[in-house]
Amino acid sequence: MKAIAVRPGTPHSVHQRDVPVPTLETQPHPHVCQIPSGRSVLVKVLQIGVDATDREIDEALYGNAPPGHDYLILGHESFGQVVEVGRLVTEFKSGDLVSCTVRRPGSSLFDQIGRNDITSQNEYYERGINLCHGYLTEYFVDDAEYMVKVPRELKHLGVLAEPASVCAKAIEQAYLAQHRLQVWSPKRAFVLGAGQIGLLATMMLRLRGLDVFTLARAPGPHRKSEIAHAYGATYVSTQETTMHDLAKRVGAPDLIFEATGNSQVAFQAMEVLGLNGALIWTSVTGGQAEVVVPGDKINMNWVLGNKLLVASVNGNRRHFELGIKDLAHGQALFPGVTEQILTNPVQGLDNFQEMMRLLVSDKNALKVYVNVA
Ligand code: BGC
Ligand code: ZN
């Protein structure tokens, strides 16, 4: 079957290759974990989303091949249909729609209790990213443990299950950590970045009743600003109003969700967060940029303001479930909005060069995904 892969370490090495079709007996990542006998699920791939992580992997800034392989199959945002299940799988049947999580457990205590998303091992195993092959293929097999059902009513949003899990986890982490304040009830949020993560976070924070300001560079109206508005948020172009000016005008935010992919913005956000506030960092910045910040001022204001920084990566099975619930809730409250994130379908794995071109050079491509089947 067809697979889209890169040679990690070699920039712009994305290519198509032929790999064996997996069966229920295949062990997809024997160097990391074994699927227990009878617990395999074989999935036909319907759609795979790609994001900045895939771009950075193709630029050789990030990612590693599985041991013994000189290539890494891309794709970590999965959506597919169950074809066949092992004899001990009761939770899925052929025809079910599913998404599959990204991380596989290492050996730390966190991994052993199902929290591979917060592994304390330096090495982490992620399908399509680090040390495990991904989903940009025609079929994949994995452990039922890592599959999450997508309701049929959400079929058109299934490919957003993984990004939604990342947002759901990050927001949940911030709320959990803010229990330290006993009566925290955030009113105002700034979401920095209006890519898929920024927009999904905008939706999720609106669902939680916050007054949300979504900030990105380009002045609206355009698709991103319209989606933010349709979620009931205010879109702000940072070319017109800086984050600092906005905070002066509307008040300092109780919560900031940073998703620009720019470490300078991540640090600048520290200057505007309100008292007792939480700043969430989600950008994975593969480069080498250095940032100058007003250290004394930030340090003092953070100490005197009891502020919190929460960094969050990945989502495990439970976060996928939370994310899917929010996608459903969002669909009910803001009908027809979330699907507008899905701007750029690519037809078939054969068009992988077009997929990369959109990802690298089309500024208007909010979400690129491949219709595999
Ligand atoms: C993925 C996460 C992953 C992270 C770090 C993101 O693009 O969506 O699942 O943990 O990259 O590799
Ligand atoms: Zn991703």
Mind listing the pLDDT tens digit for each residue in 151-188? 999 999 999 999 999 999 999 999 999 999 999 999 99
Last residue of one domain, picked from the residues 311, 331, 362: 311
Residues 213, 246 contacting (CB under 8 angstroms): yes
- Residue 318 inside a domain? The answer is no
Domain total of the chain: 2
- Domain of residue 192, CATH code: 3.40.50.720
Q: What percent of the chain has pLDDT over 70?
A: 100
Which amino acid type is present at position 133?
A: H
For residue 32, name the pLDDT band (cuts at 50, 70, 90).
very high
Based on the fold, state whether residues 207 and 100 are members of the same structural domain.
no
How many angstroms separate the alpha carbon of residue 75 from the centre of ligand 2? 9
Based on the fold, state whether residues 353 and 272 are members of the same structural domain.
no
Residue 287 has pLDDT above 90, yes or no: no
- Residue 36 inside a domain? The answer is yes
Q: Is 346 left (phi over 0), alpha (psi -120 to 50) or beta?
A: beta
Out of 62, 126, 359, 369, give the residue to mutate to test ligand 1, the one with the largest number of ligand atoms within 8 Å of its CB.
126
Based on the fold, state whether residues 245 and 177 are members of the same structural domain.
yes
Give the pLDDT confidence score for residue 286 in this predicted structure.
Answer: 86
Last residue of one domain, picked from the residues 294, 311, 328: 311
Based on the fold, state whether residues 117 and 15 are members of the same structural domain.
yes
**DSSP string covering 133-183:** --S-BSEEEEEGGGEEE--GGGGGGGGGHHHHHHHHHHHHHHHHHGGGGSS
Nearest atom within ligand 1 for CA of residue 130: 12
How many angstroms separate the alpha carbon of residue 313 from the centre of ligand 1? 6
Q: What is the mean pLDDT of residues 275-280?
A: 98
Last residue of one domain, picked from the residues 264, 294, 311: 311
- Domain of residue 32, CATH code: 3.90.180.10
Q: Per-residue pLDDT tens for 138-151?
A: 999 999 999 999 99
- Residue 321 inside a domain? The answer is no
The domain in which residue 271 lies consists of: 165-311
Q: Could you give the CA distance from residue 338 to residue 331 in angstroms, rounded to a whole number?
A: 7
